[in-house]
Chain A
């Protein structure tokens, strides 16, 4: 067709020229200044920069193990950085510092994992420091010079990133990182100008004590780290709460004992405390968060780069939320994080009960309390959990060696919190990109999925069931949709069904319907399919004709089956057991599970794009 080839003639000549120009050996590529040195060795080699820090490591007895092999990440302050620290402490040499305190400081600079700047974002590093506190990363742009620095824990700038050493990564910083010394409770108390009313209320309800325990001493593992979203006096005053007495007047209901979890004041406060250390980036990246008033939850939205809490639209009503004050948030404590809440200026367009599109504008005062919740749909990306997020492969470009989550014995603890399976060995692998010769690209939502090691055949090593921990689901009745990519590992449907399975929630009755991983979606347009209990849940990826008889055994659409109406008894996280009823295959590739309230306007939409964003258009055509 097009284009006469103009290059053909000359390519030979060119090739010869290029060949001629490659004459000598390549120099070995060295990516850092040292190739096999370990952390201690690297520091010792450069006393002009690190003599003080080296001394600190020696005093605290840490240089030895940092010379050994392992996987560490160290933030190493320069001599100038140590000097700044000494000046702040009012000392002139490191020998004058308290050794115990120094030990704590050093452990705060060390992580037992290899962490490069690739993992630096807006929030905490997913690995705890050896001290047991989280480090946060961020960046700052100083208005005057216009230069941006990467900042660790808001205390030190990074001078040099990613020095790869024999036993880990080293990042050079210009100040010493100071671990938090106060608990969340103590931090609130130390700032009466802002938080006197809130703190008084915490003390009166005994919650102050729950917020005043260091993680190692806390007997409740879920409450080792807690996150407080505190209402400052100004916010409470705007809501006509001028004192703790006013707060009591407003909320003191239920059990009259303020220290009883059924007391209204207690509940109001506990609703401001989230489980876990949740920095703003963590809050922004999940729909909802569990509070101490379990099962009550706080909902979060990320809108115009602000975090809005409890901003809700349901049944044609809109309730504007409150906004986290970024500048006064993300403050680390020994046992968690402190955020401050404030007014939210809203401008929201929605469809009201009459079907009219309306815009609501105004400003909330920042005061918030437990809300009555109606069920809302949960579109659960099953591959999203702290363990996969921490794997280094999470939603990245693909790994040829996908992380497998396995148990070393049937009774060993599960490697995934809240998940379990009965036999030794793999539970599932986390898959993204292309791995193991299997293309994981295509329509997978968030580009990833779980390959479940699930099956029910005697003598087979696959797991007869896998327990999975769901996100927060509000009490109510839901249709449960399993979303997966159909595949027959061998044979053809229906003679071969892959693995047939069903689900149970919290050990309750099994789902009304079962599904099989090799089971194909029937023919039909969106409406017909819905009546039969099927849908296409991805925005793309199904070929124009995903299910024709010719391609019958081979076609592999992304599809979802409605397993029927299931009851969620309490609001909160639940255990969903996927149990194999019969047969077994390798290709059990699960992408999502949807919980959609039974009276929700649509069971079908949205569909989801590979980047996780919703698509509110019907799947086109009849298939």
Chain B
């Protein structure tokens, strides 16, 4: 096909692509544009290795390992152990953000060059072009939202760069600037993103960005930014579409299969699409004898409650057998198991469950959280009950939250989210969102308490003291990035490393 040449070695300096001519050759037809857009999504898929985990693997680690629900398993690297201990050094392979910027750059490339296509291919309508651009703006926003929550201040790379994973020499932007960019990208995306990719295209409707996945992302972003009215508005767009619902939990076997094993269910809104040709990392990472992460069993009892000995079979479907398996050493069953309460594990070939980024339950609970903070506590509690009833939550985990107390209601929602989204890569972000709310009004206590509950006895003081320094809630910038981009400054907590 095409041979690109990149001979200059000043890649950090070149903001313009070195292969402009050939790129111009590429952006000729709408088919080429389409494949570039799909190509951007496929940057989400590589499974990676323990030395350099892929993006979805990182999403699990970033979203869980510093929090209280997921612990280290049987085969754990020192980098993972350090992450778990909150002893995070800039040379750790887990603080490398390259995989996020790889996707961002794929988006940037389309955003920059796609407008050339209509000039070459007049069968591409402006509407179609905008729809593609909306997807790329939305996907870029999603990646920046991870960056914002993980590192806080990051460089805003908005142009196509000559290297897929590396960013140009750019300084960091402030959290506010990054947030603004995310909001702006989503404003564009919501204007043009399609409602659907056509009947029978379920994997596209769940695997590419639509009005609804963009709305879910908006809701999440606005909740982070404490813009509650906008969050509610975005959630209601999804609710009012009538296209989504909760999978019935009264038949847990079917619930597990439909939601997690088969995927792309009526509950799914955005799912990173794996299949038998492109499997997810979980077979190697979570299912084998040398599984790297497992549930923190002691914490599971506290979070899901222990079934009444008189009625041992009455249990939260999201607990043992659903999210994790006691019979299998606390393996993360949601990802590693093949059936509810079963014993079968995914194999190398069948490790193809989607990674669910947003689903309808998330939308409902995000809305509930926003309602709690806009004096609509009772409505919020009603939503929590919908989620609890679907899952058969144990009565002992019900909380008598006062509807007029925003903190009581949102703490309850936080606990419900722990149950609902166990090991779905959300726990750390949930804890941090609650911890930092109203400018850390409660001194991050909710986060510190959760982490302290599982911290080892000879490190608990070191870990909790670290978390009292809010700067530690964000990751260090990787040493390799600092060396590559001289304008970057290490995040303040890690300047001594």
Residues of A within 8 A of B (CB): 1-14, 16-25, 27, 29-31, 117-118, 120-123, 137-141, 146-148, 150, 158-162, 172, 281-282, 284-285, 302, 305, 396-398, 433-434, 439, 441-443, 447, 539-541, 544, 609-611, 613, 615, 620
Contacts and interface: CB of A to CB of B under 8 A. Distances in A.
Given A147-B471, A281-B458, A434-B290, A17 B479 contact: no
A31 B479 contact: yes
Nearest to B76: A397
A539 B320 CA distance: 14
B459 A121 contact: yes
Contact of B89 (A16, A117, A158, A281): A117
Given A2-B263, A118-B87, A146-B470, A281 B78 contact: no
Contact of A397 (B75, B91, B465): B75
Interface string B4-44: 11111101000000110010000000001011111101110
B71 A611 contact: yes
A609 B164 contact: no
A433 B6 contact: no
A3 B275 contact: yes
A159 B469 CA distance: 16
Interface stretch (B53-61, B123-131, B326-334, B366-374): B326-334
10 contacts: A1-B262, A2-B203, A14-B42, A20-B19, A21-B163, A23-B163, A29-B483, A138-B461, A146-B470, A540-B326
B220 interface: no
A118 B204 contact: no
A24 B452 contact: no
Contacts of B109: 17
B496 A139 contact: no
Contacts of A14: 35-36, 38-39, 42-43, 106
Contact of A159 (B5, B461, B496): B496
A613 B298 contact: yes
A441 B9 CA distance: 45
Contact of B460 (A4, A6, A122, A158): A122
A9 B35 contact: yes
Given A285-B457, A611-B71, A7 B262 contact: no
A148 B468 contact: yes
Interface of B: 1-2, 4-9, 11, 18-19, 22, 32, 34-39, 41-43, 45, 71-78, 80-82, 87, 89, 91, 106, 109, 162-164, 203-204, 207-208, 262-264, 273-275, 277-278, 289-291, 294, 296-298, 326-330, 343, 352, 452, 457-462, 465-466, 468-472, 479-480, 483-484, 493, 496-497
A305 B452 contact: yes
Contact of B264 (A3, A118, A137): A3
A442 B294 CA distance: 12
Given A13-B35, A158-B496, A159-B496, A5 B75 contact: no
A449 B277 CA distance: 39
Contacts of B483: 27, 29-30
Nearest to B479: A31
Contact of B327 (A122, A148, A610, A620): A620
Contacts of A302: 457
B275 A2 contact: yes
A23 B457 contact: no
Given A11-B42, A434-B290, 16 more contacts: A2-B275, A6-B41, A13-B35, A19-B4, A20-B2, A21-B163, A24-B7, A123-B458, A147-B471, A148-B466, A161-B497, A281-B457, A281-B459, A284-B457, A285-B457, A539-B329
Contacts of B290: 434, 439, 441
Q: Which of A21, A29, A146, A305 has the most CB of B within 10 A?
A: A21
B4 A20 contact: yes
Contacts of A613: 297-298
Contact of B78 (A118, A285, A610): A118
B461 A433 contact: no
Given A24-B9, A433-B76, A148 B465 contact: yes
Nearest to A440: B74
Residue among A23, A150, A620 facing the most chain B CB atoms (10 A cut-off) = A23
A236 to B, nearest CB: 28
A18 B462 CA distance: 43
B34 A8 contact: no
Nearest to A540: B329
Contacts of B11: 23-24
Given A138-B462, A147-B471, A6 B273 contact: yes
A123 B277 CA distance: 50
A112 to B, nearest CB: 22
Contact of A609 (B38, B297, B465): B297
A72 to B, nearest CB: 20
Nearest to A160: B496
A21 B165 CA distance: 9
A97 B334 CA distance: 65
Contacts of B291: 441
* A17, A147, A305: most-surrounded residue (chain B CB, <10 A): A17
A207 B5 CA distance: 81
Given A122-B459, A138-B461, A539-B326, A442 B74 contact: yes
B458 A16 contact: no
B311 to A, nearest CB: 16
A19 B468 CA distance: 44
A504 B437 CA distance: 61
Report which residue of A18, A161, A396 has the largest number of chain B beta carbons within 10 angstroms of its beta carbon.
Answer: A18
Query: In this complex, which of B39, B278, B452, B479 has the most chain A Cβ atoms within 10 angstroms of its Cβ?
Result: B39
B203 A9 contact: no
A176 B414 CA distance: 45
Contacts of A4: 203
Contacts of A19: 4
A160 B496 CA distance: 4
A489 B483 CA distance: 50
Contacts of B275: 2-3, 5
A162 B476 CA distance: 15
B472 A11 contact: no
Given A2-B275, A613-B297, A25 B9 contact: yes
B461 A2 contact: no
Contacts of B72: 397
A191 B52 CA distance: 56
A615 to B, nearest CB: 8
Nearest to A282: B458
Contact of B164 (A9, A21, A160): A21
B59 to A, nearest CB: 18
B271 to A, nearest CB: 10
Given A20-B19, A397-B78, A613-B297, A7 B278 contact: yes
A147 B19 CA distance: 47
B35 A140 contact: no
A3 B263 contact: yes
Contact of B289 (A17, A146, A439): A439
B9 A447 contact: no
Contacts of A123: 458
Nearest to B4: A20
- Specify which of B43, B109, B273, B493 lies most central, judged by the most chain A CB atoms within 10 Å of its CB: B273
A97 to B, nearest CB: 28
Given A118-B78, A160-B496, A23 B466 contact: no
Contact of B39 (A11, A305, A398, A541): A11
